[in-house]
A and B are shown apart, each in its own frame.
Chain A
Amino acid sequence: MFVEIHAFYSYYLKITHLYYNLLFLISFDLIFPSINVVGQVKLIDFALTPQDSVWLQKKNFTLRFGINPYWPPIDYLNEDGKHDGLNAEYIKLFSEITGINIEYVVHETWSQHLSSIKNREIDFIGAINYTPERDEYLLFTTSYLEIPNFFISTTTFAKKKNKDLSTATFAVVSDYAYLSDLKKNYPNASFIYFNKDISALINTSFGISDVCVLDMPSVTFLINKYGISNLVALSDANLPWQIRMAVTKSEPQLQSILNRFLASISPDSKIYLHDKYLSKLTLNENTTIRNILYFILFALATTFIILSITFIYNSRLKTQIAEKTKELKETNDRYSLTISATFDSIFDLDLIQKTICFETGFFKLFEFESKRKSFPLSDWKKIIIPEDQEEVKFRYASLSENKIENWNCKFRIRTQNNSIKWLSLNGIVTYSEQGTPVRIFGAIKDISDSAIIQQELDAEKKNNEALINNTSDLIWSVSKDLKLIASNRQFQLAIHAYIGSTLESGESVEPLFKVLPIEEKKIWIKNFKRAFEGDGFKTEVCIPGKEAIPHQYAELSFNPIFENNSVQSIALHLHDITEKTIHLNEIEEQNNLLKEVTWMQSHIVRAPLSRLLTIIELIKSYPDSLRDKEKISMLTESALELDNIITDISNKAESVTKISSKR
């Protein structure tokens, strides 16, 4: 026998509720002790003793409390990362009533939680069961909450006729208190260990284990939160939690404070607290009859909704049909208007009957009145001016040869008023099974104005081309994606010389960068980037030589072309300054030589000269200061040195002359 989880839980709650109410009646109403009120909670006869205070002084009124993050709704971390649940309420109350500052320590798993208090990394924990093993290192308070544990399984397992828990696979949480008793009760069962309740529950839901053993508040909380729908409570596991607080063995004073604190909470406050965290998880009792009633109600409601939706849908469908019909008419009208706005007439050319049929617009175009719509093709051909008839014939002939679907042709006609008009025919061609064109249906447009504009544009283009080609400079423009937009002849010739082919408009200019050395390439890319940021500038570039092409220097102008305040393309102008640069270099070289000559004059020439003058000055001022031999030696040495230097200067001056003559 099994029942749904919520039904079991409600039953449990009723029992506990009654238990606390009885306690309230027996104890609270008979005694009138001192009462502390913290929020909605009453604490009776609680006060710290002098011993408590001495002990707490040592602890600096601060205790480390370990949070078990995964035991909702008893003790857990909520989505904001804060301590939540029934136990959180107790600890908060404890802190407020005692003035003790709580330092929270969060653990990843229950095992870590236990290990932490065992190693005295924390002072106490808030929700734990007694086991003889834990008793060796912990001191427990009295139990403040008892919760039964249940065997939880999938509905599939629950419905098995021959289900046998003694050989089932249990999903359990490591280090849980009931484990030793569970193993004792089911020695032949298999156990899969998990870190937390939800892992055990999910794995049972997935059928990895047959059963898990969990308390009802946790199961209810978790299945509500995660929407697990295939689990049922099989039966009471008879391994209830008796939830207590626990402190490290070395802190009996804390155990005493906590015990007195728990005992002081009034029964109605306990009910209030427990209701706050446990009752909100309950749902209405589920019985089979109620379920059936709910199902019938649900089915009736669903049927009603479906019928209502169908009715509304039908009504809307009718409205939509009316709307669509109206829209279609409007679209048709719009189409007709668009055709008349876009084209001047529509034609239907029957290539078998050799007739052509026009809409009335054509007669306006052709400037004559006619009630007829259809004409022999021979009459139509007559209005095409003789110069364009060959073009029309050629276009017509291309139909049979190329089997084109969209036929277009531009030609001039002579109207009844003897004026010339440019017409553009665009039509869809229908072919027979043998591939012969049989019909062309399409539109005629008077393009006289645009044809004239086009002629003007063509003339302007020719002029512009003549202008940009009438220079030895390279002129080209590049789009944002580095594709060539336009260029002059010199540019194409230069490109051909470098990359072996010309560059068409629309092709990428990046192959040009490939002929540049890496450093030069970087400079070019940097310049392009700068220009595309809107900066127009001139720069000098060095174009490396290639085979017969010598090294070149050029002045390159980057001119950004703006459209709607953003750079869409760049016009570039490259002016060869190789000769100028070479001349400048020569002048620089000459200047350097001249500087050298000047320096020689001022320093090197002046050194022996100064010496000669000093000797003379010395002889003049102090005739006996030097011996004759010394005088002659010094004079000769200085004179020879001077002669050598003058010869050297003469040679240098000659090389300056040579540079000048090279120019």
Chain B
Amino acid sequence: MKTIIADDDKTLLLLHSTFIKRSGICPNPLNCTDGSFAIEAIKSTIISEAILLFLDLNMPEVNGWEVLDFIAGESFPNPIFVIIVTSSVRQEDRNKAKNYEAVIEFVTKPIQASFLAEIKTRDFFIHNQI
């Protein structure tokens, strides 16, 4: 499954990338340090397969909410699944995230290996594996 990781914290981006590779979710995830790169990545990969997006909310240029607005405003032939990975512990953000159809999970950093293992067992993941 095509996987994109968007986080402005480069160290964390690297760590998450390692996690995702090691967990077997995606051997070569695409790392984006800003929301705008994530949008560009989604635009250029919509043709064939489903996308799993690990999305941080607080990013300096284009934040996670704007990326979600972009996804919600476009129609894609392939599904996009978003897992929000954030430092925010605010309930307000959790509630807001529920308004976006593409969001399947809202997790607080750090990402746990057990969470990624659990993701792999979900239907959406299984059905969209090539």
Contacts and interface: CB of A to CB of B under 8 A. Distances in A.
A610 B22 CA distance: 19
B11 A637 contact: yes
A419 B87 CA distance: 96
A626 B21 CA distance: 13
B126 interface: no
Contact of B89 (A606, A617, A622): A606
Interface stretch (B36-44, B75-83, B105-113): B105-113
Contacts of A606: 87, 89, 109
A456 to B, nearest CB: 66
Contact of B113 (A607, A621, A634, A637): A621
B11 A603 contact: no
Given A602-B88, A603-B88, A617-B112, A610 B12 contact: yes
Contacts of B9: 607, 610-611
Contacts of A621: 19, 22, 113
Contacts of A625: 18, 22
Contacts of B11: 611, 634, 637-638
B72 interface: no
A613 B18 contact: no
A611 B15 contact: yes
A641 to B, nearest CB: 9
Contacts of A613: 109-110
Contact of A611 (B12, B18, B58, B89): B12
A603 B87 contact: yes
Contacts of A607: 9, 12, 87
Contacts of B22: 618, 621-622, 625
Nearest to A621: B113
Contacts of B15: 611, 614-615, 618, 634
Interface string B10-29: 01100110110010000000
Interface in B28-70: 58
A636 to B, nearest CB: 11
Chain A at the B interface: SS class: helix
B90 interface: yes
B89 A602 contact: yes
Nearest to B90: A602
Contacts of A602: 87-90
| Listed residue (A606, A610, A620, A621) with the most chain B CB atoms within 10 angstroms of its CB | A610
Interface string A18-51: 0000000000000000000000000000000000
A616 B15 CA distance: 10
A637 B16 CA distance: 17
B87 A614 contact: no
B30 to A, nearest CB: 19
A605 B107 CA distance: 17
Interface string A95-113: 0000000000000000000
Interface in B94-113: 109-113
Contacts of B112: 617
Contacts of B19: 614, 617-618, 621-622
A85 B73 CA distance: 78
A614 B22 CA distance: 14
Nearest to A606: B87
Nearest to B115: A617
A634 B16 CA distance: 13
Contacts of A611: 9, 11-12, 15, 110
Contacts of B88: 602-603
A539 to B, nearest CB: 34
A614 B89 contact: no
B73 to A, nearest CB: 27
Given A617-B111, A638-B11, A610 B16 contact: no
A611 B109 CA distance: 8
Interface in A601-649: 602-603, 606-607, 610-611, 613-618, 620-622, 625-626, 634, 637-638
Contacts of A615: 15
B87 A622 contact: no
A621 B16 CA distance: 13
Nearest to A634: B11
Interface string B111-123: 1110000000000
A614 B12 contact: yes
Nearest to A617: B110
B28 to A, nearest CB: 16
B52 to A, nearest CB: 18
Contact of A614 (B58, B90, B109): B109
A634 B110 CA distance: 15
B18 A617 contact: no
Nearest to A613: B110
Nearest to B9: A607
Contacts of B90: 602
B64 to A, nearest CB: 13
Contacts of A610: 9, 12, 87, 109-110
Give 8 nearest A-B pairs by CB, closest first.
A610-B109, A621-B113, A614-B110, A606-B87, A613-B110, A614-B15, A622-B22, A610-B110
23 contacts: A602-B87, A602-B89, A602-B90, A603-B58, A603-B88, A606-B109, A607-B12, A607-B87, A610-B12, A610-B87, A610-B109, A610-B110, A613-B109, A613-B110, A614-B12, A618-B113, A620-B113, A622-B22, A625-B18, A625-B22, A626-B18, A634-B15, A638-B11
Given A607-B12, A617-B19, 19 more contacts: A602-B88, A603-B87, A606-B89, A610-B87, A611-B9, A611-B15, A611-B110, A613-B109, A613-B110, A614-B12, A614-B15, A614-B109, A614-B110, A616-B110, A618-B15, A618-B18, A618-B19, A621-B22, A622-B113
Interface of A: 602-603, 606-607, 610-611, 613-618, 620-622, 625-626, 634, 637-638
Interface of B: 9, 11-12, 15-16, 18-19, 22, 58, 87-90, 109-113
